[in-house]
């Protein structure tokens, strides 16, 4: 059986472990070298200079391409670097259609940087093909999707959008950070480019900043390869190693994240201090059917709204096991307040329109025991209610 036929769990666990021909090292080593000797004039070992390619990064890039069912992978110094590299496909006069409930950094990149180069974007509910159609212009070049969105977990039908886009010769780009190739492979559904903040689930341990791009098609892969090398926001050999190490346990972690998030979302659903829970793993979540059709599992993060915005401050002060911190996808549980953290760069009117308001909290559920997570939330919510309601009675 060839490696390509292995199930994804096997391919993840074995990243790089059969590629080091000299010593047979089970862990592919860190090649900490920026330059590589040329055997003779006009000859190369395949490695010349680190920005173009490095052996450690190459193993990661090839594994990423296989995992996402793509033709080429590119490791970048951050998720934003990956996005910047992909957006460099576009220039003066080009227009993009982009998911409305968008990661704040992507919005900032488009509105404050890409706009300087004459690239414009329309933000629409990408699960509404009519809305996409209406925002399409003669100069539209691509549709950019996040699904599920963060923090509100809105689902887009990737296959439907990719079909619509390819009929018009537009690219479909998917930010697959929240589900990872373990649960969702957009290129198999017709997308052209997948991007990741590998800082999140792929790395998985809140210890490495990285981004990935995976492309389909020879021409597009060559174009991204050119941009990746020319822009130079590439991943270092040691961070490439660190990321591979994280990815080896991706399957185990994602199963546990999904399990824990489902338990915690159901717990909060019945809590008297909680008004609403947004998680595709819950019955009745809009888009759940599409999510189940295009993905084999659910992410480990969800959002919820407390009944009173005044609960937020004491809740964040009283959680102990769960850290009040700004990221997601690691083994440690983190809670984020999107309105003032991750989504602060999105104008208030857009935030309000999609529902990212001052009662909304985002919970990246780690791999701790669910009993401990429930107890941490229960006691912090209880303390918050006592502070607020106790105060009102005096």
Ligand X SMILES: *Cc1c(COP(=O)(O)O)cnc(C)c1O
The rounded distance, in Å, linking the Cα atoms of 192 and 186 is 8
- What are the strands, taking DSSP E only, across the chain? 72-76, 95-99, 120-124, 140-146, 171-175, 193-197, 211-215, 274-278, 301-306, 323-324, 334-336, 360-364
Which residues sit at the interface with ligand X, rule CB under 6 A? 78-80, 103, 105-106, 146, 150, 175, 177, 197, 199-200, 209, 211
Provide, rounded to whole angstroms, the least separation between the CB of residue 251 and ligand X: 20
Backbone phi and psi for residue 181, each to the nearest 5 degrees, phi listed first: -65, -15
Provide, rounded to whole angstroms, the least separation between the CB of residue 130 and ligand X: 25
Between 360 and 381, CB nearer to ligand X: 360
User: In this structure, what is the dihedral angle of CA atoms 246, 281, 375, 103, given to the nearest 10 degrees?
Assistant: 60
User: In this structure, what is the dihedral angle of CA atoms 262, 259, 319, 374, given to the nearest 10 degrees?
Assistant: 70
Between 343 and 385, CB nearer to ligand X: 343
Catalytic residue among 57, 141, 185, 200: 200
Provide, rounded to whole angstroms, the least separation between the CB of residue 303 and ligand X: 13
Pairing label, strands 360-364, 193-197? unpaired
User: Which distant-in-sequence residues (6+ apart) come within 8 Å of 114 by Cβ?
Assistant: 87, 90, 121
The rounded distance, in Å, linking the Cα atoms of 278 and 269 is 9
Provide, rounded to whole angstroms, the least separation between the CB of residue 152 and ligand X: 12
Provide, rounded to whole angstroms, the least separation between the CB of residue 97 and ligand X: 17
Between 106 and 303, CB nearer to ligand X: 106
- Bridge partners of 97? 122, 143
Between 152 and 309, CB nearer to ligand X: 152
Does 107 qualify as catalytic in the annotation? no
Does 103 qualify as catalytic in the annotation? yes
Provide, rounded to whole angstroms, the least separation between the CB of residue 68 and ligand X: 15
Between 78 and 260, CB nearer to ligand X: 78
Does 192 qualify as catalytic in the annotation? no
Question: Which residue is at the shortest CB distance from ligand X?
Answer: 79
Catalytic residue among 103, 107, 241, 279: 103
Between 173 and 306, CB nearer to ligand X: 173
The DSSP output letter for 35 is B
Catalytic residue among 94, 101, 157, 175: 175
Does 241 qualify as catalytic in the annotation? no
Length of the chain: 394
For residue 284, give Cα distances in angstroms to 154, 218, 229, 279, 287: 13, 41, 45, 10, 9
Active site residues: 51, 103, 175, 200
């Amino acid at each position: 059986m060839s490696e390509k036929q292995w199930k994804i769990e096997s391919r993840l666990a074995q990243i790089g472990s059969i590629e080091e021909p000299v010593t047979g090292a089970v862990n592919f080593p860190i090649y900490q070298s920026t330059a590589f000797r040329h055997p003779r004039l006009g000859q190369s070992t395949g490695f010349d200079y680190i920005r173009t390619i490095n052996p450690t990064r190459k193993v990661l890039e090839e594994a990423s391409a296989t995992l996402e069912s793509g033709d080429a992978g590119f490791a970048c110094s951050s998720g934003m670097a990956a996005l910047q590299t992909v957006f460099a496909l576009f220039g003066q006069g080009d227009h993009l259609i982009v998911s409305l409930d968008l990661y704040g950094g992507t919005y900032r990149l488009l509105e404050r940087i890409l706009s300087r180069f004459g690239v414009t974007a329309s933000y629409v509910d990408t699960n509404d093909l009519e809305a996409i159609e209406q925002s399409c212009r003669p100069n539209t070049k691509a549709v950019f999707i996040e699904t599920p969105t963060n923090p509100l977990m809105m689902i887009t039908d990737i296959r439907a959008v990719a079909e619509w886009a390819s009929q018009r010769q537009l690219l479909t780009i998917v930010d697959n950070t929240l589900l990872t190739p373990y649960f969702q492979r957009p290129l198999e559904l017709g997308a052209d480019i997948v991007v990741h903040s590998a800082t999140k689930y792929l790395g998985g341990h809140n210890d490495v900043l990285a981004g990935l791009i995976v492309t389909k098609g020879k021409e597009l892969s060559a174009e991204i390869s050119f941009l990746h090398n020319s822009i130079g926001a590439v991943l270092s050999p040691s961070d490439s190693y660190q990321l591979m190490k994280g990815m080896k346990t991706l399957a185990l972690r994602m199963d546990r994240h999904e399990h824990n998030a489902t338990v915690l979302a159901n717990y909060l659903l019945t809590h008297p201090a909680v008004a609403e829970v947004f998680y595709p793993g819950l019955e009745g979540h809009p888009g759940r059917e599409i999510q189940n059709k295009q993905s084999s599992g659910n992410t480990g993060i969800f959002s919820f709204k407390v009944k009173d915005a005044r609960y937020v401050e004491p809740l964040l002060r009283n959680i102990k096991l769960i850290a009040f911190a700004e990221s997601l996808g690691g083994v440690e549980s983190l809670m984020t307040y999107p309105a003032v953290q991750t989504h602060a760069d999105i104008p208030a009117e857009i935030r309000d329109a999609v529902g990212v308001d001052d009662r909304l909290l985002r919970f990246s559920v780690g791999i701790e025991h669910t009993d401990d997570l429930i107890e941490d939330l229960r006691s912090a919510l209880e303390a918050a209610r006592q502070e607020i309601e106790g105060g009102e009675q005096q």
